[in-house]
Structure formats: structure tokens, C-alpha cells
Structure 1
Amino acid sequence: MEDNEIELHLKREDEIHSLVSGNKFRKLKYNVMAAIKEEKKTLLTFGGAFSNHIAATASAGKMCGLHTIGVIRGEELVSKIEDNPTLRYAQDCGMLFKFISRTDFRNKEDAHFISELQNEFGDFYLIPEGGTNALAVKGCEEILTKPDASFDYVCAPVGTGGTLTGLINSSKPGQQVLGFSALKGDFLKQDISKFAKRNNWKLITEYHFGGYAKINVDLITFINQFKKDHNIALDPVYTGKMMFGLMDMIKNGYFPKGSKILAIHTGGLQGIKGMNARLKKKNLPVIQ
């Protein structure tokens, strides 16, 4: 990077809180405040087997004295909680689970389905899968601070688009915001456009490694070497892919000479245990 005179800085959002870290803290902040203001006693949200959002919501609920319900994708997981570090942690925080089929999970935004959940569980404060809504974007707008105005590029991994949208809205004139999609495809552009107030952003879709939570030996090797070189752990689903992509783009001359780049570490390190369990079953190297 010195040959290109490019500066790359990593903002450690993963260090915000020991249990609710990174963008999950930002997304949940104003949602939890709203739930308390509305005198809701329960948070209900959606997620998969190794969801950072599920773990963070369970932890936030426990800390704030709120009940939590996780609607989990995959009926087969009901008998596998003890083998799943994310679900086991959420359960230890007091989260109640409802396991549903992948087909039913697609109805998570359907009004009739939400009404059925209300009939089953009573009144609750609804947080969407991944936590992204207007209040989540508001929280993510607080990631960038005054010193960050000096950067030419602001980069973040993208799952549901809430974090990137917050960065777009709080970016300064002249800055370009790059989102590294952890999912296959460019359908997230529409979701980001719902809340984005500016057009200074681009979705990078070449570093998803096959899709959500898909990784290979190249990515594992990169993450382990990055930790060895910088003593910083990267999660394999989001920040690891972004940093791999950034390093590759720098190497291939994407950024002009003298560029200053700020990358956002969005946390998600709790998911490493679950990913390593999957890697061991496939006889692949694990994340150190």
C-alpha cells in the first residue's frame, strides 16, 4: 500500500461493546429505546442459525430487562440448539425460539403472518431480520465522526443494507461510500435506496465468495494471515470478505494514488465458533 501511497484505516466498531458489538449495537440502540418508550415488554425478531442479529438482540434484551423472541429459519434446528453456539448463547440470555420452515420464513414481512405471531405471543416490538429499519439507519448514521471527514472512501460490508445506508447519509461531500455485499446478486441496491439520502455510493458485488455465509480456503487463509499480521480478528461472513476485497482492489489499482480509505469493522465475531464447526465437518482449515 505504501507503493500506491494509499492509507487504509480500520474503524473498530467491533470494540464498542463486549456483547452487542459493531453495527448490531448501532441498529438496536434506537429500536430498544423506542420499545421501552412504547412500554413494550418483548422484542421479537427473525434470523438464521448463526445470526449475529439474533445473538445481539438476545443480549440487548437481557441487559435492558426485555423479553426476547427469535423466529428462526429452519425447523430442523429445534433439536440442535446445544450444538449451535449462537442459538445456545441466545437461549442462555433468555430468548424464546420459534423454529419455522424456510418457506414460512419468507413470509416474515407479511401482515397476516405477523398477526399470527401476535396471537401466539401477545404484544411485542417487532424488529426485522438483520435489524434494518429507519431507526437502525439512524443509529448507523452515528458511526462516522468528525475526524472521519478526512477520508476519501468509506467502506463497509453489506448484509441488509442498513449500515451502509447510515454511512451514506452521514458521509461528507466528496466522500464515496463502498458497500461490499456478503450476498450473491445486486438486489440490495433497491433496499439501500429506500433510506439513502445521497447518490455517492456503490455496491461491490465481486467478493461474496458464493453467497451469504459461503467461504473457501482462500478467504480462511486471508483472515488468519490478517490476524497474524495485525492482531485483529475478522468475521468470515462480513468484514473478512470486505477486507479481502479491499486489499484486492488496492492491489489492482482501483483507488487513485494518495487515496485515504476508512473501512468499518462491523463485529460479528461471535459467528466464528459456528463457522469453525461447519468447517471441521468439511475437513477444511478453521479460523484462528
Structure 2
Amino acid sequence: MISTSIYASPLYRLEKLSRRWGVDLWIKRDDLIPLWLGGNKVRKNVAILDAASKGGRKPEVLITNGGAESNHARVVALMGAQLGCEVHLVLHGDKPALSTRGNSFFYRSAGAATHYVDSEQIGPTIVRLERASLQDGRSVVVIPGGGHAVEGVEAYSNAVAELPTAPDYIVHASGTGGTQAGLLAGVEKLGWSTSVTGISVARAGQRGREEIIKLLPCSFPLDKIHFRDGYRFGGYERHSPELVSFIQSVIRDEGIPLDLTYTGKAMFGLRDLVRSGEIPPGSMVVFWHTGGLLNLTSMNL
């Protein structure tokens, strides 16, 4: 069985930004969950493996996929090392030239097998690896990229209850959609009127919404899904001098670490929503920090 515990992440007020932006701004620091430096990927993957272990047999092989410098893949690699599992990471993108930078360092240090393939080969490679392990008589868990699964949604649905009161808004970085679906489900379960806004880090609006909808009950009101794709800065792992400058200003003001792939874009989007009046003055806002900081060590800035 998976014995790992998840602790409620810190929540506190951002005093300087609250005054400057004219809202009551709080931050939920999932980047400080004390396991595998994984942020939202920790909540999701622990829930997935807990569900897979219900029958009492610990998984022997873990297989997942992601980008060449995937935070999710790094969490699975470190989790597998702790549990004594064989780990296979099916990664799209170029194999890093240096083995001592970014998430790649942790893949290799944890003993995970890395398979760098073109995007269209991700599925077939996972199937081949799973079949080989099953033929050897080993138990296998295939974890969807990004922890994009109903168990991950449930983990974030439960996480909403860590908030002591209902904010007017929750804003966060939205990638594969699982975190946003979970936050929406959690708000709905508690009967709150809180608006949940996901700032897309990669996907365009229609596809992003579709992936979120797939993870929610058919009866969920679609008008509550707010997925904003105007702050992608060119796509996944893309950024601009404007984004870099903004992140640096937030760090100087609040000492909050943000990254260029996920949380920096989300905080930039939040500021824009406040400036435009879409989030009215005086609103209580929770910025849900989902992690992703190790991406900085592998990016060319």
C-alpha cells in the first residue's frame, strides 16, 4: 500500500500585492507540499497510486509520459524510487544535452528508464512497455501524463476544503485540466459561489475546455468553466521579456517564487483580470500556486 501522507499546504495573504492591486489576495502554496518538490503533481499521483493499491498489491512498475523536462515525470520517478518500483518515463522532445540540469537530473538519479520519442509514438511505446512488464508477471500502473485522471480530480476536489472560507475567486495555472476540474468539483461540492479561473499554460481555449469537461460529471454547469488562453506567451515553456520582468517584480514585492511555464503566466493573467475589472476591487482572491519551479533550471533565459 502507499503510505505517503499529504499535508495541507500553507495559505497566507499577499499584503503588498493586495494593496497595489486593490483586492484581498491570498496564496495557496502547493509548491510547498513536502514531497518530491512536486506541487499539484504530488496530490494527483498519490491519489492515483493509492487507488491502484486498493487490492493490497503494491505496483511493481510505473509508466507515465510527459515532456522532456516534465515535473510530473520527475514526481513519478522520485515516488517510484521511494516505493521500490521500476519506472519508465516516455518523454517527447529532445533529450537534454546535460544530465545535471533540471528534472532530467532527478530522472537519472532516481534510476528511472527514460524513452525519448516523437509525440505520435507516446501511446505505442507505453503499450509496448506495459505488455513487456505484464508478460514478466509484474503488476503495472500506467499513470496518465500530468496525472490527468479522475483520482487526480478527486484529490483537488478534496483540497478545496483546506480553505477556511469561500473566496470570491480562485485563479491558477491550468495545463492538462485535472487541477481545474478538481477545484471546480470541490467548490460545487461545498456549495460555494466561488468562481474558478484557469489560466492556460499551453492549450487553446476549445481544447482546454473539452479536457476539463471530460473529467466532470455530465450534469456540471458548463458556464462555470472559465479557461483563459490569452496568457500562453506562445505556448508551453514559451515566455517573453514582459513575463520575465513581471515575475521578477512579484518576487521583489512578495518573495514568491514563480516560474515561466506555469505559475508566472497564471499570476500575470490574474493581474490582468484585476486591472480590467473582471475581478472587481475588494474581491477575495486565492491564487493557487501549483508548483513547477524546477523548470527554471532547464530553461535558456
Pairwise TM-score range, normalised by the shorter structure = 0.7 to 0.9
The equivalent of 1:90 in structure 2 is 107
Distance 1:14 1:194 in 2: 26
The runs of at least 4 consecutive aligned structure 1 residues that moved more than 4 Å come to none
The equivalent of 1:19 in structure 2 is 36
- Residue 179 of structure 1, aligned match among 181, 187, 198: 198
Distance change (3 Å), C-alpha of 1:81 and 1:35:
farther
Please identify, of 262-271 and 191-200, the stretch whose mean Cα deviation from structure 2 is larger: 191-200
How big is the shift at 1:65? 2.3
Q: Give deviations 1:162-220, integer Å, cap 9, x for gaps.
A: 00011000014311110100014111111101122433231111111111111011111
The equivalent of 1:238 in structure 2 is 262
The equivalent of 1:195 in structure 2 is 215
The equivalent of 1:160 in structure 2 is 176
One-letter amino acid matched to 1:213: E
Distance change (3 Å), C-alpha of 1:133 and 1:181:
same
Distance change (3 Å), C-alpha of 1:146 and 1:91:
closer
Please identify, of 143-152 and 174-183, the stretch whose mean Cα deviation from structure 2 is larger: 143-152
One-letter amino acid matched to 2:211: D
1:145 is paired with a residue of what secondary structure? helix
Q: Give deviations 1:11-63, integer Å, cap 9, x for gaps.
A: 11111115243211111111122333452201100011111101111111112
Contact 2:171 2:285 in 1 (8 A): yes
One-letter amino acid matched to 1:244: F
- What pairs up with 1:1-288 in 2 under 5 angstroms? 1-2=18-19, 5-38=22-55, 39=57, 40-74=59-93, 76-77=94-95, 80=97, 82=99, 84-105=101-122, 108=123, 114-122=126-134, 123=138, 124-145=140-161, 147-171=163-187, 172-186=191-205, 187-197=207-217, 198-199=220-221, 200-275=224-299, 278-279=300-301
Distance change (3 Å), C-alpha of 1:204 and 1:7:
same
One-letter amino acid matched to 1:36: S
Distance 1:265 1:102 in 2: 28
How big is the shift at 1:146? 5.2
Aligned-pair Cα RMSD in Å: 2.0
One-letter amino acid matched to 2:212: I
Identity %: 30
Contact 2:166 2:192 in 1 (8 A): no
Contact 1:20 1:60 in 2 (8 A): no
> Runs of 5+ in structure 1 lacking a partner?
280-288
Distance change (3 Å), C-alpha of 1:209 and 1:81:
same
Distance change (3 Å), C-alpha of 1:94 and 1:37:
farther
Q: Give deviations 1:218-254, integer Å, cap 9, x for gaps.
A: 1111112211211110121111100011112212211
One-letter amino acid matched to 1:166: G
Contact 1:49 1:84 in 2 (8 A): no
- The TM-score, its normalising length taken from structure 1, stands at 0.87
Aligned pair count reads 270
